[in-house]
Amino acid sequence: MPRRFPSIPTSVLTDLYVPEFVPTQEKLQNMIDNPDAVSKQARQKIDQQVAEAEETIFSGAPTPITKEEALAVEERVQELREGIATTRQRIAQFKSQIDEQAGLGTSGNELSFKIDITKKRALKRALKKAFGIKTDTLSYSMYKTALAAKKQLEQEDADEYTSGSWSRENGGEE
């Protein structure tokens, strides 16, 4: 059995959908006929309310730094750059000391490592391709060359990835 909806008077529906205020029928005028007639006290009150509103609106906005703060930041950045340069110089000194100890600075007596690559065919092929010789020893200069090549390949991969040219051909997915 179907339900019956209660009858709703049409006046309720018209009141819901027809607004009482129609802007085209009203004559809108300025609330203050003479702005010069506004009292000084009322203007001060309005200015105060505007200032309070601006303060609440802009309270979270960052303030610009002063010249003194900017100079302090520049000094700190310069100190950090000097520290970085000093650290890089120390690292370069340590690298040169290691190179000297490994025998790169002297002729003929270079440090080398004996490695067993009899069961590592991929490593044998890589050594043959990279250095053009069949060997079972790895010298320090070969090791450094391999590390430099690895670093260069990683940098190229990173550059490709960050530039957006990474594709399925390069090992990525698109």
Query: pLDDT (tens digit, 9 = 90+) per residue, 11-64?
Result: 656 666 666 666 565 555 555 566 666 677 778 888 898 888 888 887 777 778
Q: For the chain, which residues make up each domain, given as ranges?
A: 67-102, 107-166
Q: What is the mean pLDDT of residues 141-152?
A: 85
pLDDT digits (tens, 9 = 90+) for 75-105: 999 999 999 999 999 999 998 888 888 776 5
Q: How far apart are CA 135 and CA 113, in angstroms?
A: 11
* pLDDT computed for residue 174 by the predictor: 46
Lowest model confidence (mean pLDDT) among 20-29, 48-57, 123-132, 159-168? 20-29
Q: 65 vs 168, which has greater pLDDT?
A: 65
pLDDT at 9: 63
Please check the confidence at residue 71 and state whether its pLDDT lies above 50: yes
What separation in angstroms does the CA of 129 have from each of 125, 136, 144, 151, 161? 6, 14, 16, 18, 27
Q: What's the CA gap between 99 and 10, in Å, rounded? A: 98
DSSP 119-153: T-HHHHHHHHHHHSS--SEEEHHHHHHHHHHHHHH
Average pLDDT, the chain: 77
Taking Cα atoms as reference points, which of 66, 65, 49, 46 lies closest to residue 57?
A: 49
Cα angle: 66, vertex 70, 74; to 5 degrees: 170
How much is the pTM?
A: 0.44
